[in-house]
Structure 1
């Protein structure tokens, strides 16, 4: 019997605010253990929370970017459970009245992954297990989160990977989180079940907690799918439980039985008022959103005629796409700027973090000026590439490295002189070309380009060499 994978995601995204969700403690990553916390975020008796307005704004931005409906009225609730990383024995979250509902993210295959809800909540502290001892660091406690909950719409691991990548990219674009999974600012809980192909009934699900890399998500889903299939086919039953994934062994193991909503005894948070979101405020927030990656990708491929592979690289990070947009202003073909960015500039940005930061000396306007000179024919491609390297090293404009004579090109007499010099200097290559080795002519071309310091036009040189060689 063939089985179908069914999965849904609960993704926690830490929000980029200066202070925590209910107090004024810093949200800065790192720091000595238990130095970024106060009586409010560790829940000491007599303390009262105060909701950070920026957290609500960020959640609304996330909802708008994922096609959600934004609630006019929302509230905060207490989610009760006892665990060492939550000293007050409850988490302030949202239950039946979240800020955002009924959105979606569309995949490249056309399928829409439905988003059930996006709600705000506080993060818990961190447990550190060391040689049988457990330590608690409350620095992370109270850091604001949004939780993005999907319907069980995933039918393959590839769909899951694409969803996480798109969600990560979108949250970074709108500027509400850096989504660095390796630092825990984006974490995924994967709910997974299997069922016979063609069946509409959902199987018993398990939840794999706190996945912090796309690679591990794929491996964990593959292992859990095969484990559940093997269990069913051997006559066993899948038990609803919460699992952890061990990337060293590539296996999942049980943490605890899986809780349902009634286990948490949700009730309204008595210390916080109702959240009212006027429609005018939603429109203001929507107006501040940048152009999202999917729209940029469509514009680049359809209007600018940029290949899909290149457009994907340009839109992966907002900083790169905005740099490209500025550099390509006024160009006949924006692909000119795209080629320089993906070629020479990306060679200097070795890691994904480098591309995200885009810390280079050449401004987008300076790159645009170089591209205009190239498009006008005043500058040849090889000389433009050389100039860009010098610009990237120094931060100076193209005019510092290209003279008027460089842009003047070559008259026919000078071109003929350079070609004759090359023919005389590269007799072996000329003989090889005469004997049928077409590529040998490239060596002679290189000699001419060297004499002209890149000012010669390569097609014109080849034409002239062929005339002179006969």
Structure 2
């Protein structure tokens, strides 16, 4: 398990003209559930389809059409709740959130205000070795997405695409436990990582499959501690919500701007209005969208077309039994089993595909530390240079594991291994077979190495005297021997022989 003996990061302090202020942030993450069908219909959720081609009658609110719950979506929500160590509610219900907008054909959104499927949980957000914060999850509820308004096809008209209408979402609501822009981005990244490990959301922010509503307020130092003691939100200041953020960088920029905007208003004697705002990345500022609605503004009431959801504990237990190893547990295991550093383990577990690739390499190469070094430095470095993802790697885990096995056995040196890696990247093949066929095997015969050392020493008497006067120059002889043997000599053996022959 992850070592929880960490220090909490300090809250972000912003210096105003009249004193210091602290940030308080809560987030609502909308995560599209990974499923082929919509929440209440069998229409496809495929991204990028022709406009209005993935729409069933119930999605378009045709008269007489009744919603039918997609059971797999409920299972994915329960799986997410278990992954966040949250309470699973065996009884939950759907409500109608009533509002009019052209991309909402029903005139309401089916959601879960009063009785969500998942209760309180937590996310551990690490901000560096030994520094982390626990962000409490208030709830996770399941709801349907709205359609999409398109304004840029014709300046005089707006178009509506109903493909997203009815797409299943999990809204993951946090407590106001986040204290700075960097923490907010780290929280979203950690939640995204967990969802990907669980397979409940692909986390694709560019396509809108994961987006955040960010609630920002500012307060004087000490007020947050009063809130913690009393749970009285009035200590935290008036919050403004920044809608539909789909970039870690923009989340940080929007929070910083919004906090400074609120501070300027308060220090000028004004009052912050509770409202919903949008972030304009081109101008680097937030702007007012509408006044912030309360629950009563939406006239929530139980959806009459849907019975309450009643699930059995045995069904939840079955899902729990099929849960994968999650990032924190995997990281702790990598550090314990393979002796990896916190940094290396974090890099390798950042994405489930990276972690799986690494473990497959270890299974063949049988050396965790060496495998980590090659995966992180050589493979990831080359993939980044080529603009490729891990799934596109020309070098398979079995091939890279074969390289590591050859290094470990002493058949090849590190330098030869890099040449071999290049061959595998561009040509493919079996590592051991390539080494054998191309004569790349490392020279370990001390007799042959000694002969090369003697020849280099005999040919360079002046350099010998310099090395005896300054032992650091012995490396020159090592380099010459490696060059003479085509890089095939065992470097350790060469170094030992050079040192002995020079009497150093």
Are residues 44 and 88 of structure 1, via their aligned partners in 2, closer, same or farther at CA, if it must alter by over 3 Å? same
Residue by residue over 1:336-358, the C-alpha shift from the partner in whole angstroms, topping out at 9 and shown as x without a partner, is: 11111112211232289844x52
Shift of 1:37: 1.6
Question: Are 2:54 and 1:36 equivalent residues in the alignment?
Answer: yes
Does residue 86 (structure 1) correspond to residue 120 (structure 2)? The answer is no
By how many angstroms is 1:434 displaced?
6.2
Aligned to 2:295: 261
For residues 309 and 183 of structure 2, what CA distance do their matches in structure 1 show? 35
Cα offset, 1:311, TM superposition: 1.1
Secondary structure of the residue that 2:56 maps to in structure 1? coil
For structure 2, list consecutive stretches of 5 or more residues without a partner in the other structure. Answer: 1-18, 227-234
Pairs within 5 Å for 1:42-57 = 42-57=60-75
* Whole-Å separation in 1 of the counterparts to 2:358 and 2:177: 35
Q: Deviations over 1:181-220 (max 9, x none)?
A: 1211110000111112112312111100001101000000
Q: Distance in 1 between matches of 2:270 and 2:460?
A: 79
> What is the DSSP-based 3-state SS (H/G/I as helix, E as strand, rest coil) of the residue aligned with 1:115?
strand
Q: Which residue in 2 is equivalent to 1:237?
A: 271
SS at 2:287 equivalent: strand
Cα pair 1:204 1:238 within 8 Å, conserved: yes
What residue number does 1:403 align with? 436
**Could you tell me the TM-score, scaled by structure 1's length?**
0.92
Structure 1 residues 452, 2: CA separation in 2 closer, same or farther (over 3 Å shift)? same
Show the counterpart of 1:146.
Answer: 170
Give the match for residue 9 of structure 1: 27
Where in structure 2 are the equivalents of 1:364-403 lying within 5 Å?
Answer: 364-403=397-436
Structure 1, gaps ≥5 residues long: none
1:213-254 deviation line (CA, Å, top 9, x unaligned): 010000000011111111001010000110000001111111
CA contact (8 A) 1:426 1:444 kept: no
Evaluate the alpha carbon distance shift between residue 281 and residue 226 of structure 1 in structure 2; reply closer, same or farther with a 3 A threshold: same
Sort the Cα spacing of 1:147 and 1:430 in 2 relative to 1 into closer, same or farther, 3 A: farther
When the two chains are superposed, the root-mean-square deviation of aligned CA atoms in Å is: 2.5
* 1:43 positional shift: 1.2
Alignment of 1:37-436 (within 5 A): 37-108=55-126, 109-130=131-152, 131=155, 133-199=157-223, 200=226, 201-329=235-363, 333-350=367-384, 354-355=388-389, 357-403=390-436, 407=441, 409-423=443-457, 433=467, 436=470
CA contact (8 A) 2:122 2:135 kept: yes
Shift of 1:263: 1.0
How many residues get paired? 468
Go from structure 1 to structure 2 and tell me whether the alpha carbon gap of 1:422 and 1:50 turns closer, same or farther (over 3 Å shift). Answer: farther
CA distance, structure 2, for counterparts of residue 113 and residue 312 of structure 1? 19
Change (3 A) 1:94 1:401: same
Q: Distance in 2 between matches of 1:302 and 1:295?
A: 10
Cα distance in structure 1, aligned partners of 2:290 and 2:119: 29
Aligned-pair CA distance for 1:11: 0.5
Q: Is the 8 A contact 1:327 1:365 kept in 2?
A: yes
Between the aligned partners of 1:125 and 1:13, the Cα distance in structure 2 is 15
Cα distance change on mapping 1:352 and 1:254 into 2, 3 Å: farther
Of 441-450 and 208-217, the range deviating more from structure 2: 441-450
TM-score of the superposition, structure 2-length normalised? 0.86
